[in-house]
Amino acid sequence: MFFNSLEFAIFFPIVFILYWLVSQKLFLRNLLILIASYVFYGWWDWRFLFLIVISSIVDFIVGQKLHKTENLQKRKGLLIISLIVNLGFLIYFKYTNFFIESFVDSFRLFGKQLEVSTLNIILPVGISFYTFQTLSYTIDIYRKQLKPTKDWLAFFSFVAFFPQLVAGPIERASHLLPQFYKTYKFNYNLVKSGLLLMAFGLFKKMVIADRAAILVNQVYNNPTDYYGYETILATVLFAFQIYCDFSGYSDIAIGIARTMGFDLMKNFDSPYFSKSITEFWRRWHISLSTWFRDYVYIPLGGSRNGTYRTYANLFIVFLVSGLWHGAAMTFVVWGAIHGVFIVIEKALTKLRMAIFKKSKALNYLIALPFTFFIVCFAWVFFRANSFKDAVIIISNSFQISETGNLFSLGLKKSEFNLLFVMIVLLLVFEIIHKRFEVTHVLNKTYLPIRWSFYLVIVFCILIFGIYGENTVKEFIYFQF
């Protein structure tokens, strides 16, 4: 079930009304959330519900047993059980074919051809997200940073919470789980704020991301046909497509949760205004980058074991991050590019500080455009259908298009102009929002102005949104 679908437009109001009817009865409220979450997820394929249920059962029991024993060997054994079950599902469904293909390719390098075929495995939607979320629960209990819950219903609801189940934000149990222990009273301002955030998310997804996808798909699905500014434009638009698609999903998820009294963590913070790759990852997919920091980088040793070990740990984290995003060499290369530049920035920290701290102008004239260039260069590998396609696109970008026509890339002139205007408005909005919290400003303005702003967003979605059976509906990060 997509947030931008007719089914969800029916599903959410029903759940919202029922939720507030039983909101003061904790057991009924959490039971409703759990049932709604399972219906939401099962809408794609009910058979994969058993994965969430098994993960929930295993980690609930492991959490209880971890709390009851001080024996280090038993604690390690229990944690390993949780890791094997959760990562086992993830590796089987997401990486089995990748490992088979890599195994066959390694023999091909030595001139031997193996007759081994890949398996027909369907990737469960959002498995990477809820796997990391439930793993953080058992790992934090193992570290004695969290006490396990005795409320199985609250825990199951935490794991399957439908607003952020399939594409995050990846919540920590220490933040989200306690919110299932208490009831909430209807708060008009919170509901209004949540609905506004949902509308803004739908605007980013349906008006910008889905419109940009038309041109991006045209070029990236036919890489040998386009050159020069065509491939460069498609790459830049993909940067905005994936940002508006994914941050749009996060906005909707946070907005839905807010209308129900729940608080989810911020997942994006104007990442394309970053002045370094390091800063970019503080602003992009914040819930994932902090997860890797706490559960991969720090256990590897973090920055505690010398300079070169720190560099190695950083690079490993980004390789793993690339592989987390997808079982393909393109994602590994994407992660490696970010890892290399993170390490370079770390090594040149003092030099960068000396150069850019003296002049803010240099930050905006050099550091910001250069960072965006590197991010876009890496996006080529992220978006390309294969490593070969990525190389073709990069190579073609340095050639001049002799027969190209800006308006023959899938978007008519009016559509292209509309997309350009909407992207500019989005960037202007983010600059303003950074200085002044827009929702707070709106709440202080006159009622007609406030509601005019709300209506403009709604009308933009209704009039300028991309609709139809052949258009992009699925959010990009559903595949991860």
Confidence class of residue 116 from pLDDT cuts 50, 70 and 90?
low
Query: So what's the pLDDT on residue 171?
Result: 93
pLDDT at 476: 75
Residue 191: CB partners within 8 Å, gap ≥ 6? 258, 259
Asked whether the predicted pLDDT for residue 111 surpasses 70, the reply is no
> pLDDT tens for residues 267-278?
999 999 999 999
Query: What pLDDT is attached to residue 134?
Result: 93
pLDDT (mean) for 119-142: 85
Report the alpha-carbon distance of residue 45 to residue 62 in Å, rounded. 27
Quote the pLDDT of residue 115: 62
pLDDT at 20 over 70: yes
What are the angstrom distances between the C-alpha of 286 and each of 250, 280, 387, 400? 11, 10, 27, 38
Q: What is the pLDDT of residues 44-95, one digit of tens each?
A: 888 889 999 999 999 999 999 999 988 999 999 999 999 999 999 888 888 7
- Please report which confidence band the pLDDT of residue 471 belongs to, taking 50, 70 and 90 as the band edges: low
User: Is 412 or 354 the better-scoring residue by pLDDT?
Assistant: 412
Per-residue pLDDT, averaged over 285-312, amounts to 91
Q: Which residue has the higher pLDDT, 401 or 184?
A: 184
Q: Which residues are catalytic?
A: 325
Per-residue model confidence (pLDDT) at position 56 = 94
Written as one string, the DSSP assignment of 189-212 is HHHHHHHHHHHHHHIIIIIIIHHH
d(CA 103, CA 240): 35
Measured CA to CA, the distance from residue 305 to residue 301 in angstroms comes to 6
Computed over every residue of the chain, the mean pLDDT equals: 88
Give the mean model confidence (pLDDT) for residues 281-292: 94
Q: Which residue has the higher pLDDT, 463 or 359?
A: 463
What's the pLDDT score for residue 63?
94
Q: Has residue 33 got a pLDDT over 90?
A: yes
Q: What is the pTM of this model?
A: 0.91
pLDDT band per the 50, 70, 90 thresholds, residue 367: confident
> Quick check: 223 pLDDT over 80?
yes
Contact (Cβ atoms closer than 8 angstroms) between residue 397 and residue 228? yes
DSSP conformation class of 477? G
